[in-house]
Amino acid sequence: MASFEKVSVQELGRLWDEGMASGSSVDGDQAFARIKSKLDAKVAERQVAKTLRFQPETESMKRK
């Protein structure tokens, strides 16, 4: 059985190779801005859904 260190080095090598094969590098600031934008949109979507779930009944619904 392989030792933890040997497996870790192999995995690091595999990840390195995968990264090198993925193409050109991306500017970090642009990448983080893109990720933040997507996360902000998901947070806003969840807040709207949460708000809609907890809205009090409208007057027309109470009369029924």
Q: What is the pLDDT of residue 26?
A: 87
- pLDDT of 61 > 70? The answer is no
Q: What is the pLDDT of residue 50?
A: 86
pTM of the model: 0.47
Q: How many Å apart are CA 55 and CA 31, to the nearest integer?
A: 37
**Rg (alpha carbons) of the chain, rounded to whole number:** 24
Residue-wise pLDDT for 4-57, tens only, equals 898 899 999 999 999 999 998 889 999 999 999 999 999 999 999 888 887 776
Helices marked H in the chain — which ranges?
4-21, 28-53, 59-62
Say which residue, 63 or 12, is predicted with more confidence.
Answer: 12
Determine the distance from the C-alpha atom of residue 8 to the mean position of all C-alpha atoms in its chain, rounded to a whole number: 25
Residues 6+ apart with CB under 8 A from 2: 10
Q: What is the pLDDT of residue 10?
A: 95
